[in-house]
A and B are shown apart, each in its own frame.
Chain A
Amino acid sequence: MDFLQPTTLDAALALKAERPAAVPICGGTDLMVDINFDRERPEATMDLTRIDELGVIERGDDHVWIGAGVPYLQILAELAEDTPGLCMAARTVGSPQIRARGTLGGNLGTASPAGDALPPLVACGAVAEVASTERGRREIPVRDFIVRPRHSALEPDELIVRVRVPHARGPQQFGKVGQRNAMVISIASFGLAFDLEGRTVGTGIGSAGPVILDAPSAHAHVEETFGAAGLWDSGERMPDGVAKRFGELVGEAASPIDDVRGTARYRRHALAVLAARSITWAWEEHRQTKGSAA
């Protein structure tokens, strides 16, 4: 096994073009486990932790760029206001040791539908920027990044550079069901993002399908109900049954399987509960902020 350690992005992309089988490594929280257990023997690994550009957080007018190599601990420390949904998810990743090392680039590259950061990124419409020497940079919506479990839309000569996350345009929530409180892979997870300006709601469903899913019928239900009842303007309490129906539609949008962590039926139920709670909490948070602002 060769160990490659480029110090600039250009050098890394040149190496990746030359050796497409080289596996990128940042926090090692997935790859090192596979190497330690003899499940993977890549012909080369490419350490990306020496590339400054990948470790940068950059704020734009209506979004924030998060470098693919920024660890969760730093996201939590710096972005609680900008991307609250992502931060709620970051807080549930592994343990302090894992959060010190794990990155968005790793979550995307590993392409597991159980990646904790992915549902909130899908819910708010985040976009990954990837690059190659030959074709330069291109953007892939996080929604489309996983094509099937453990396989991403990344070409063999490409690396993930950064992720563009829109500034929160309304309350966001994230919920995860696992077997205990810490150090746990999700059985089901759910991200929710209100866009109060666009009067829309976004969702992301994790661990309950081959890819991260969203629930268009649930979005439509909320958007229509809120519009008809004038809730976007009035900020009134949600009518009875809206949250429950939203949850049911999220559960129906999932495509779970039975596996060692849980049954498909349990996952749908858990998602219905998570989604109903999330929308209730998010809307109440909005009502309180609105109330205190008035």
Chain B
Amino acid sequence: MKVVYTVNGERHEAEGVWPGASLLTVLRDNMGLPGSKNACEQGECGSCSVLMDGELVCACLVQAGQAEGRDIRTVEGLAGEGDGGVGDVQQAFLDAGAVQCGFCTPGLIVAVDHLLARDPAPTDEDLREELAGNLCRCTGYVKIIDAVHLAASRRAAGTAVTTTGSATPRP
């Protein structure tokens, strides 16, 4: 079947999609957007978290056709300008040391951006609750929570950092 989504503000279409495929599969395998990660495929880990019409969902649990015509936001849409550019939540994760193996990071970036949009200064308790659907097996979460507070305080102070990337990879 054919599906058409608006992903990060742009129209994307895919042909020959197996109807049983998930939104995640279509994003990664058909639309060239591998930022959303495929880990558990059962909605447990949150590494495939995306926004669908503004709602935080696991892309692995949305059947391809269910997302037809919907507005999808993925982690790619939260990057900074240019190739390798870094968005403010991403920068906060880097600065706080909240990235280890990195597999959970894309889902967390989407979930944190969604959280801060609704609650600009979440308490530890609130953000633990809000991020309960994003599992990280490396960090023990302490640095991730630090990163959320860092991103929140930078946004509040109007000093949120988004960098423009260059084509040259970082050393």
Contact = CB atoms under 8 A, between A and B. Distances in A.
Interface string B88-125: 00000000000000000000000100000000000000
Contacts of B60: 32, 36
A96 B61 contact: no
A182 B55 CA distance: 19
A25 interface: yes
Interface string B4-43: 0000000000000011101000000000000000000111
Contact of A97 (B20, B46, B66): B46
Interface in B38-75: 41-44, 46, 49, 55-58, 60-66, 68
Contacts of B1: 3
B81 interface: no
B19 A3 contact: yes
Contacts of A3: 1, 19, 63-65
A202 to B, nearest CB: 29
Contacts of B56: 96-97, 100
Contact of A33 (B61, B62, B130, B134): B61
A73 B133 CA distance: 14
A29 B46 CA distance: 13
Contact of A37 (B18, B41, B46): B41
A28 B61 contact: yes
B20 A98 contact: no
Interface residues of A, number: 28
A29 B65 contact: no
A244 B64 CA distance: 51
A37 B57 CA distance: 19
Interface stretch (A41-49, A79-87, A137-145, A285-293): A41-49
B138 interface: no
B132 interface: yes
Contacts of B19: 1-3, 45
A52 B134 CA distance: 30
A35 interface: yes
Given A94-B43, A96-B56, A97-B46, A182 B132 contact: yes
Interface centre among B20, B49, B56, B135 (most CB of A within 10 A): B20
B20 A1 contact: yes
Given A1-B19, A41-B20, A100-B56, A32 B133 contact: no
Interface string A27-67: 11100110111000100010101000000000000000000
Interface in A124-151: none
Contacts of B46: 95, 97
B132 A32 contact: no
Contacts of A37: 41-42
A229 to B, nearest CB: 39
Nearest to A181: B132
Contacts of A29: 43, 61
Interface of A: 1-3, 5, 25, 27-29, 32-33, 35-37, 41, 45, 47, 49, 73, 94-98, 100-101, 181-183
19 contacts: A1-B20, A3-B19, A3-B65, A5-B68, A25-B66, A28-B63, A28-B66, A32-B62, A33-B41, A37-B41, A47-B63, A49-B66, A94-B43, A95-B132, A96-B130, A97-B61, A100-B55, A101-B55, A183-B44
Given A32-B43, A97-B61, 17 more contacts: A3-B63, A28-B62, A32-B61, A35-B63, A36-B42, A49-B66, A95-B43, A95-B132, A95-B133, A95-B134, A96-B56, A96-B129, A97-B46, A97-B56, A97-B111, A98-B61, A182-B129
Q: Sort A-B residue pairs by CB-CB distance and give the 9 closest, nearest first.
A: A95-B133, A182-B132, A3-B19, A36-B41, A28-B61, A97-B133, A33-B42, A3-B65, A32-B61
